[in-house]
Structure 1
């Protein structure tokens, strides 16, 4: 993966969603005539979407915003799974992880 993980993450999420660059661009409010080109530039790393556009893309693709910043597949998968939990379950998981780390260090 390059220094900037956004292009690869964006393409992976779009491909998984089964939609074209043009369709995704239009869905997040881009002009129909330029949507495909802009999305292609984002996926190739020629341009970086601003944070508002990235939020719209994340929402449309059903991934958390921080997914785009994961530098490896395992982290990206974990982020997506965590997003499916409600806050109560996230807290339980966090407490379990903390307890496990403390036990392992003793």
Structure 2
């Protein structure tokens, strides 16, 4: 599969029908910028849009996917390979997001402990009070001199 070829097919068929990118985008429920990216070969339309694109532009689906001489079986194999590559990219991105969230949680925990110690050293809050105040968003809510959690009420 070739994104540039697919984009050229979409652009040629759109022009032949006398549609603007905006009109095609409105008919498909996407932005005109998305259509522009398809036509420039920067990315593919979403898989669910190929059938509506085919119907709107009067193109056979195989023509959207295949260069001349490519059989339907080869087109399906190429689409499956592209899908597998995209799934791997998404999994890789998800792993980095999980690592980032863990690192952010650790940094926030360290900052909480540091702020609690600083408050304790300056006599503003005691160590336990500083930790309790910092952990309120995670454990419960403060009312008067008591912290209400999901399990019990604790006096400060």
Please state which band the TM-score falls in when normalised by the shorter chain: 0.5 to 0.7
Q: CA deviation at 1:47?
A: 1.6
TM-score, normalised via structure 1 length: 0.57
Correspondences of 1:16-27 after superposition (within 5 Å): 16-27=16-27
Alpha-carbon distance in 2 for matches of 1:27, 1:50: 15
Of structures 1 and 2, the one scoring higher in RCO (CA 8 A, sep 6+) is 1
Relative to structure 2, which stretch is displaced further, 19-28 or 48-57?
48-57
Q: Greater Rg, structure 1 or structure 2?
A: 2
Consecutive unaligned residues in structure 2, runs of 5 or more? 70-156
- Cα deviation for residue 46 of structure 1 reads 1.2
* DSSP-derived class of the 1:46 partner: coil
Distance 1:39 1:19 in 2: 12
What is the deviation of 1:57? Answer: 0.8
Alignment of 1:59 onto 2:55? yes
Runs of 4 or more, structure 1, over 6 Å off, are: none
Higher strand share: 2
Aligned match of 1:13: 13
Match of 1:45 among 6, 28, 41: 41
1:70 Cα deviation after fit: 3.3
On the 8 A contact 2:2/2:65 being kept in 1, the answer is no
1:3: Cα distance to partner?
3.8
> What is the total number of aligned residue pairs between the two structures?
68
The unaligned stretches of length 5 or more in structure 1 are 76-106
- 1:22-78 residue CA offsets vs partner (Å, 9 max, x unmatched): 100110122xxxx21110011011121122112111111111211112324xx7xxx
